[in-house]
Amino acid sequence: MGIVKIKDKTFKTSIPEAEILKKVQVVADRINKDFEGKKPVFLAVLNGSFIFAADLMRMITIPSEISFVKYASYEGTSSTGSMKTLMGINQDLAGRHVIIVEDIVDSGFTMAHMIEELKKMNPASVEICSLLVKPGNLKVNLDINYAVMEIPNDFIVGYGLDYDQEGRNLRDIYTIVE
């Protein structure tokens, strides 16, 4: 178990990189099977999903595309509940199968907002692929068909997730130590 200090907080290893990658492969295999012959568009939500999206895409064997979007709802360690679109979608998604690639689904507000916006673009389907899901903290009803792992309602960093923009570069996922 490793311990890291980021700013004023201490974190301990909770999910090692090797375990993360094994579970990402399981989800990638399901996507490859479910979307065979469909050429999905992956929409990776920045900044947090960039490492997960890169690993996932290297495991995707079907023809596909990836694009990036940026939303903001976090400040420090908590979700603000308000949504700002910072960088949007610049391609035609009508009739396309869209897979949102997210680092973590916490309250679900970001996903609900994003799905609402995507539906206006008339895609054939919209699926959520999230590295982490906090089922105990979900405030909206979402179908998350491609969840890599469920975690308790703890604050975490690493593998793309940050604490006040730091810690994204950590290979493992770390949980805050109270």
Enter the tokens of residue 105: 């689904």
Residue 117: its H or E element: helix 109-119
Task: Give CA torsion, residues 177, 76, 105, 27, to 10 deg.
Answer: -70
150: left (phi over 0), alpha (psi -120 to 50) or beta: beta
Direct distance between the N- and C-terminal alpha carbons of the chain, in angstroms, rounded to an integer:
16
How many Cβ atoms from other residues are within 10 Å of residue 122's Cβ? Answer: 11
- Give helix 50-59 / helix 17-34 axis angle, nearest 10°: 60
Q: 55, 103, 106, 172: which is the annotated catalytic residue? A: 106
Active site residue 106: yes
Alpha-carbon span 68 to 27, nearest angstrom: 20
Active site residues: 106
